[in-house]
Chains A and B, each alone.
Chain A
Amino acid sequence: QSALTQPASVSGSPGQSITISCTGTSSDVGGYDYVSWYQQHPGKAPKLMVYDVSIRPSGVSNRFSGSKSGATASLTISGLQAEDEADYYCGSYTSRSTVVFGGGTKLTVL
């Protein structure tokens, strides 16, 4: 199972919006509405930010939103804040009943 494709890095200034893409295939992202996004700060465990494409777990800021079109999912962070600087990973359920992650995107807040 190949990893999902994410940009290695994105950046934005405080207050701006950024979008991170996650591209898969019809066997994962394109075939199921089970895409999730995770935030990971250095030395910390990942944190679920969005699941089932667009659902935010309790306690996650509404500045984080998810969407999907075909085999590409996206995470948008609006009103960028310094604390959003972290690594972000997408994940998807697959046709083999496994989960596959993207390679990760480093978000830099300028």
Chain B
Amino acid sequence: EVQLVESGGGLVQPGRSLRLSCAATGFTFGDYAMHWVRQAPGKGLEWVSGINWNSGNINYADSVRGRFTISRDNAKNSLYLQMNSLKAEDSAFYYCSRDVGTIARNLEKWGQGTLVTVSS
């Protein structure tokens, strides 16, 4: 069974940093592209970033480009999101998602999310 478990969320002050992790089990992690998606409470989905199977293609939403960095370690079956210069509007549930294939286009499997709250 595919499982994605996010961790690293919490309360952080504006301007500080946070690193999210996503542990993947139940599939060959290196065979799939991965994504981070966020959802503010009561709001819609916002795609944050995607990374293809071998980290050769990485993309970001305009709202986080230059502040967030996605990475993966296929040997550790793990996906990461380094979030710097955090703003109040970054507060949301952050979901890790596995793609259907090797290129980041469709989000097939989802974790349960980790909550990030940016507040002083």
Contact = CB atoms under 8 A, between A and B. Distances in A.
B100 A99 contact: no
Interface residues of B, number: 24
| Most chain A CB neighbours (cut-off 10 Å) among B35, B45, B104, B112 | B45
Contacts, number: 68
Given A45-B110, A99-B50, A93 B105 contact: yes
Interface of A: 1, 3, 34, 36, 38, 40, 45-48, 51-52, 57, 89, 91, 93, 96-104
21 contacts: A1-B61, A34-B106, A38-B107, A40-B45, A45-B110, A45-B111, A45-B113, A47-B110, A89-B44, A93-B105, A93-B106, A97-B57, A97-B104, A98-B47, A98-B50, A98-B59, A98-B60, A99-B47, A99-B50, A99-B105, A101-B46
